[in-house]
């Protein structure tokens, strides 16, 4: 690459690197990030144990997924960053093809069609897109002059739109928002002009009306209406949100104690082990538990942003920042919806909610962060 003309590898035995840093470099592991992730996922298992009515089977299953996910993370972390950049278009193309296949031949549940069945193994291609999207956009914009000009913004938006529309079609609003956000955030960090941002926000506001009337499904509208007035249908659509607020509120500051949440254990709280698990945590560990978890998430975000800032080129910066911010969006959307600030969309609480492939995807994302963090130093001559 021509840009490498200006770069030179630092000698391996640089004295300015501390011993620990050298170990991190060699293992391609960011110890801080790893530690935070392990703390959160262990705490998550503790909450999940209670939320699943003390089901050891659930914990074992979740544990297996965690092992798989951490393994995927460590493997991903070994991948050279420039290789990721080169592979990005292919991953993107593969993701789009799979999404088209879902629309044509997917299997699903509850009126949604989200899975592909490959010889008995089912998986969600939208998961591939969660990673392929930021990598692709970062690769595309990383090679351009930044801030991006109109032409590049246009092509970026097109790249974002195709998989997003395909995922909306499934329909899976939550995931489509997250996938789109991960792409758009790259654009933001690339320095998208504030004018464009302002225009986009204005356009979004203006499109709310047609969106409501022509695009959103009935069940999606119902969720929004439920958010605005959950008391209207206490035993129907409003049930989830009322019960989760009750669980959170009744927890108070110290909480009711581990395994002593009445809302969750008496089955009042639906989806307590998946999307609504923060309500179980809030009920049993109170405000203290919530603040601790939020602090841990903040530390992860802080570490992610640090890695982004320290990254050696635009690709690394944009990718790391996008993955980090997407992680925060997960946290915010999930906690916001469970506490009644946002409409109910299917977004799990990262590292705590029971999940399968989504955990693997999430930690693979952190693997990318670690790869960026431990990329061999290049200096500008």
Partner 1 sequence: MSEASHFKDHHREARLFFSRALVAGGVIVLLTGILVLRFFSLQVDHHEDYVTQSDRNRVHVLPIPPTRGLIYDRNGKLLAENRASYTLSIVHERVSDLAETLEFLATLVDISANDIEKFNDQLRQRRRPFDAVPLRFGLTEVELARLAVNEFRLDGVEVHAQLVRHYPEGDLFAHSIGYVGRINEQELSEFDPDEYQRYSGTHSIGKIGLERFYEPELLGEVGYQNVETNARGRVLRVLDSGDPKPGSDLILHADIELQKEAMAALDGHRGAVVAIDVATGGVLAAVSAPSFDANLFVTGISFKDYRQLNQSKDLPLFNRFLQGQYPPGSTIKPVVAMAGLHYKVITSETTVHDPGFYKLKDSSRLYRDWKRWGHGPNVDLKQAIAESCDVYFYDLGFNLGIDKMHSFGDQFGLGEKTNIDLPSERRGLWPSRDWKRGARGESWYPGDSLNVSIGQGDVLATPLQLASMVSTIAHHGVRLRPQIVASIAGEPRPPIVDQNVDVEESIMALGIEAMAEVVHGKHGTAQRIAQGAKYKMAGKTGTAQVVAIAQNAEYDSDALSERNRDHALFVGFAPLDNPKIAVAVLLENAESGSGAAAPIARRVFDAWLLNEHGELRE
Task: Provide the binding-site residues for partner 1, judged by CB under 8 A.
Answer: 1-3, 143-147, 185, 188-191, 235, 243, 245-253, 262-263, 266-268, 282, 286-287, 290-291, 294, 298, 301, 305, 308-309, 313-314, 317-318, 321, 325, 328, 332, 335-336, 339-341, 380
Q: Which residue lies nearer to partner 1 by CB, 55 or 143?
A: 143
Coil, helix or strand at residue 261 = coil
Alpha-helical regions (H) of 229-353: 238-251, 262-265, 277-310, 314-338
The CA R_g of the chain, rounded to the nearest whole Å, is 22
Q: How far is the CB of 155 from partner 1 (least distance, A)?
A: 14
Coil, helix or strand at residue 252 = coil
Q: Which helix (H) or strand (E) holds 107?
A: strand 107-109
Q: Which residue lies nearer to partner 1 by CB, 23 or 294?
A: 294
Q: Which residue lies nearer to partner 1 by CB, 114 or 303?
A: 303
Q: How far is the CB of 35 from partner 1 (least distance, A)?
A: 21
- Rounded distance, CA 345 to CA 177, Å? 10
Q: Which residue lies nearer to partner 1 by CB, 127 or 284?
A: 284
Q: How far is the CB of 171 from partner 1 (least distance, A)?
A: 23
Q: How far is the CB of 124 from partner 1 (least distance, A)?
A: 27
Q: How far is CA 228 from CA 84, 206, 289, 335, in A?
A: 43, 20, 27, 17
Q: How far is the CB of 325 from partner 1 (least distance, A)?
A: 6
Q: How far is the CB of 68 from partner 1 (least distance, A)?
A: 29
Q: Which residue lies nearer to partner 1 by CB, 85 or 114?
A: 85
Q: Which residue lies nearer to partner 1 by CB, 97 or 204?
A: 204
Inter-axis angle of helices 238-251 and 277-310, nearest 10: 80
Q: Give the contacts of 55 (CB within 8 A, at least 6 positions apart).
A: 49
């Amino acid at each position: 690459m021509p840009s490498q003309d200006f770069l030179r590898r630092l000698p391996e035995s640089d004295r300015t690197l501390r011993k620990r840093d050298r170990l991190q470099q060699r293992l391609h592991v960011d110890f801080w990030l790893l530690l935070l992730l392990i703390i959160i996922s262990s705490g998550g298992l503790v909450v999940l144990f209670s939320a699943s009515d003390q089901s050891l089977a659930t914990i074992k299953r979740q544990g297996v997924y965690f092992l798989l996910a951490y393994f995927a993370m460590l493997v991903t972390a070994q991948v050279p960053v420039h290789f990721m950049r080169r592979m990005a278009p292919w991953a993107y193309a593969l993701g789009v093809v799979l999404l088209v296949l879902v629309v044509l031949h997917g299997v699903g549940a509850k009126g949604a069609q989200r899975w592909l069945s490959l010889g008995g193994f089912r998986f969600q291609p939208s998961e591939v897109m969660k990673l392929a999207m930021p990598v692709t956009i970062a690769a595309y914009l990383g090679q351009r002059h930044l801030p991006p000009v109109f032409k590049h913004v246009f092509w970026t938006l097109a790249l974002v739109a195709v998989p997003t529309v395909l995922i909306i079609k499934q329909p899976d609003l939550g995931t489509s928002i997250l996938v789109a956000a991960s792409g758009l955030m790259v654009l933001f960090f690339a320095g998208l002009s504030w004018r464009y941002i302002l225009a986009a926000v204005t356009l979004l506001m203006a499109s709310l009306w047609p969106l409501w009337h022509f695009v959103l499904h009935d069940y999606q509208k119902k969720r929004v209406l439920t958010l605005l007035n959950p008391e209207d249908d206490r035993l129907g659509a409003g049930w989830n949100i009322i019960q989760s607020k009750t669980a959170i509120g009744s927890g108070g500051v110290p909480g009711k104690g581990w395994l002593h949440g009445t809302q969750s254990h008496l089955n009042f709280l639906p989806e307590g082990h998946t999307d609504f698990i923060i309500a179980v945590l809030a009920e049993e560990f109170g405000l203290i538990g919530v603040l601790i978890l939020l602090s841990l998430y903040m530390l992860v975000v802080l570490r992610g942003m640090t890695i982004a800032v320290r990254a050696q080129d635009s690709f690394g910066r944009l990718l790391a920042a996008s993955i980090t911010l997407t992680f925060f969006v997960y946290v915010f959307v999930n906690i916001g919806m469970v506490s009644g600030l946002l409409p109910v969309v299917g977004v799990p609480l990262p590292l705590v909610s029971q999940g399968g492939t989504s955990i693997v995807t999430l930690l693979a994302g952190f693997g990318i962060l670690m790869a960026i963090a431990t990329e061999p130093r290049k200096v500008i001559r």
